Amino acid sequence: EAQVTQNPRYLITVTGKKLTVTCSQNMNHEYMSWYRQDPGLGLRQIYYSMNVEVTDKGDVPEGYKVSRKEKRNFPLILESPSPNQTSLYFCASSLEGQGYSYTFGSGTRLTVV
């Protein structure tokens, strides 16, 4: 089944403890992206990647890192999480081109205390 898989689905952590949220897609998509969703603010792009070793900042990149060493994986790294990063995170992928649709993962609900 074609899908985007995120792990974990739920995560509670403490301020300052490094964490990684994994994202993997099995559709050979070039383009991958991370979004966060917050009440009243909607979905905002954190980082995106156009292909292996090609990444760039989205609208709200502060406090996050990403890497794209393989085409299928695009992990989101929080080096020193803070409570304002408590949010619902989504990974998405698409073929790179103007005519293609996005596929989203099921989301990761992160709470930083």
**Does residue 34 belong to the site contacting other proteins (CB under 8 A)?**
no
Structure tokens at 90: 């989504």
Closest CA to 78 of 65, 59, 60, 89: 65
Of the candidates 2, 14, 27, 43, which one interacts with other proteins according to CB under 8 A? Answer: 43
3-state secondary structure 6-60: EECCEEEECCCCCEEEEEEECCCCCEEEEEEEECCCEEEEEEEEEECCEEEECCC
- What is the 8-class DSSP label of residue 85? G
In the complex, the smallest distance separating the C-beta of residue 48 from other proteins, rounded to whole angstroms, is 6
Place of tokens 């760039």: 56
Of the candidates 58, 72, 73, 111, which one interacts with other proteins according to CB under 8 A? Answer: 58
Of the candidates 31, 34, 64, 74, which one interacts with other proteins according to CB under 8 A? Answer: 31
**Does residue 33 belong to the site contacting other proteins (CB under 8 A)?**
yes
In the complex, the smallest distance separating the C-beta of residue 79 from other proteins, rounded to whole angstroms, is 25
- For other proteins, the binding residues (CB under 8 A) are 31, 33, 35, 40, 42-45, 48, 50, 56, 58, 88, 90, 92, 94, 96-99, 101-107, 109
